[in-house]
Structure 1
Amino acid sequence: MTHVLLEVNSLKKIYTTRFGGNPVQALVSVSFSVEQGEYIAIMGESGSGKTTLLNIIAGFDKPTSGKVLLNGREITSMNEKEISAFRRNNIGFVFQDYNLLDTFSIQDNILLPLVLAGRPYTEMYERLKPIAEKLRISDILSKYPYEVSGGQKQRAAIARAFITKPQLILADEPTGALDSHSSEELLRLFAEINNEGQTILVVTHSIKVASYAKRVLFIKDGEIFHQIYKGSMSNDEMYQKISDTLTMIATGGIRNA
């Protein structure tokens, strides 16, 4: 039986400048839902609204109107204190530039959300060990971010996102700062984690990244414009389908979904 984990209802976001310039409408009216266990990629050109959408889902930004519900809890109506606690316990975020603290060891960076949540040390280390082994970073836990590679930093950032056992993982261009080998490794890892039941929502402009997802939403001019379900397609077939779709959208060959 399917369970809707995330509901995005009629999101609109208008940015106004302090100096009375023209308001910018980043999101016009975005609605979609995500079932538990799905792996979804959101694609769109720069300025299409995809990062704004992700930030609203994560509670980093508030919409002008509309709602976001995670497992029935409305995120958009929470105050700053409520959203911080809710995000820490329910949402894992993987950033393009890792967002690791250079003055903290890799281990302390990963454990930080649990420290902030006031978890006992025994529980922290019980959670850390299997995650570090899975992500192959057990041997670098005592090192600092500036002592390890980009791929290792991103794996540490993923460990930090997973350590709270979140309902939803959000990733913003997760391979953006990685070389092709590290990118491939990360994408295989995401697919493996998703196959174990983790719900993942990734924002990307990379066809390669999106080809690993089970569904791709295309955002254009602040609206969900089209979507593709992977079904039984291979990653290569999905890559070609996404590429063709982007070309058709760019040339006006696809009508709004």
Structure 2
Amino acid sequence: MTLLEVQNVKKIYTTRFGGNQVEALRNVNFSVEQREYVAIMGESGSGKTTLLNILAALDRPTGGKVYLKGRDLSGVKEREMAAFRRQNLGFVFQDFNLLDTFSIEDNILLPLVLSGRKYKEMEKRLTPVVEKLRIADILQKYPYEVSGGQKQRAAVARALITRPQLILADEPTGALDSRAADALLQLFEEINRDGQTILMVTHSVKAASTAKRVLFIKDGEVFHQLYRGNLTNEQMYQKISDTLTVLTTGGDAR
């Protein structure tokens, strides 16, 4: 079943001085099925971050439509948007976005607090998530007292606690050392196998090689895509590397 559908999305920015127009996205089309794990790659300035912001309903496209489970995001009123995001989307950021004045537990529960959930329900949701992510022993600590890998696991727990339709991850391994990055990627594979849909923007070939499908953005549109099929992570890594070489040298990957 299609969870996310992107149709002819365009985004044009007008520069502050001079009124010049910059086309960040020109004609983006793709869909994401439920339980998929999709990575988006491309050079800096290719439009990846702009696209992610539109999918997260943090920005609106100049043209085209984005549907989440059949609902047109442009139809969600501004006053309803924050609640819509909390109910449907989970976010994992490169810099964790944890509040240093909150304990790890309070950071994880924050979306449920903002949604007005009762503590009994929050506690019921918290236990299986933190046990799965192996962070039950740091819940009373503060972000500045734990490692980068533990912070990112807490951020993943915060994303999962709302039981979102879709997790959007923006360079989730970017601030991690190689060991913590490997652990996080293994975790993403596990939660995807459990049925969670994930869409990840990344520069990391290693991160993208764990996904089931990789979309390549070039000059503001989808240039190519790779399906995992029966490929191993190592084989997927090589395919992605070859495609990125084509992207940067101006060849045709299709």
Into which bin does the TM-score normalised by the smaller protein fall? over 0.9
Rounded Cα–Cα distance in structure 2 between residues aligned with 1:62 and 1:20:
23
Counterpart in the other structure of 1:171: 169
The one-letter amino acid paired with 1:15 is Y
Counterpart in the other structure of 2:109: 111
After TM superposition, the score normalised by the length of structure 1 is 0.97
Counterpart in the other structure of 2:245: 247
1:218 counterpart = 2:212: no
Gaps of 5+ in 2: none
Post-superposition CA distance 1:62-107 (Å, at most 9, x none): 1111111000111123222222111100100100000001111100
The one-letter amino acid paired with 2:9 is L
Rounded Cα–Cα distance in structure 2 between residues aligned with 1:80 and 1:178:
34
Counterpart in the other structure of 1:24: 22
Q: What is the DSSP-based 3-state SS (H/G/I as helix, E as strand, rest coil) of the residue aligned with 1:176? A: coil
Counterpart in the other structure of 2:52: 54
Counterpart in the other structure of 2:95: 97
Post-superposition CA distance 1:1-30 (Å, at most 9, x none): xx0000001110111123224221110110
Rounded Cα–Cα distance in structure 2 between residues aligned with 1:77 and 1:10:
17
Does structure 2 conserve the Cα–Cα contact (< 8 Å) formed by 1:75 and 1:83? no
The one-letter amino acid paired with 1:226 is H
Does structure 2 conserve the Cα–Cα contact (< 8 Å) formed by 1:114 and 1:124? yes
Post-superposition CA distance 1:30-73 (Å, at most 9, x none): 01000000000000001000011011000111111111100011
Gaps of 5+ in 1: none
Alignment of 1:163-242 (within 5 A): 163-242=161-240
The one-letter amino acid paired with 2:235 is E
Select 1:137's aligned residue among 135, 141, 146.
135
Post-superposition CA distance 1:168-187 (Å, at most 9, x none): 00000000000000000000
Rounded Cα–Cα distance in structure 2 between residues aligned with 1:48 and 1:85:
30
1:12 counterpart = 2:24: no
How many residues matched? 254
After TM superposition, the score normalised by the length of structure 2 is 0.98
Runs (4+) off by over 3 Å = none
- How much identity, in percent, do the aligned residues show? 72
Rounded Cα–Cα distance in structure 2 between residues aligned with 1:229 and 1:217:
9
Q: CA RMSD in A?
A: 0.9
Rounded Cα–Cα distance in structure 2 between residues aligned with 1:25 and 1:50:
13
Q: What is the DSSP-based 3-state SS (H/G/I as helix, E as strand, rest coil) of the residue aligned with 1:239? A: helix
Q: What is the DSSP-based 3-state SS (H/G/I as helix, E as strand, rest coil) of the residue aligned with 1:94? A: strand
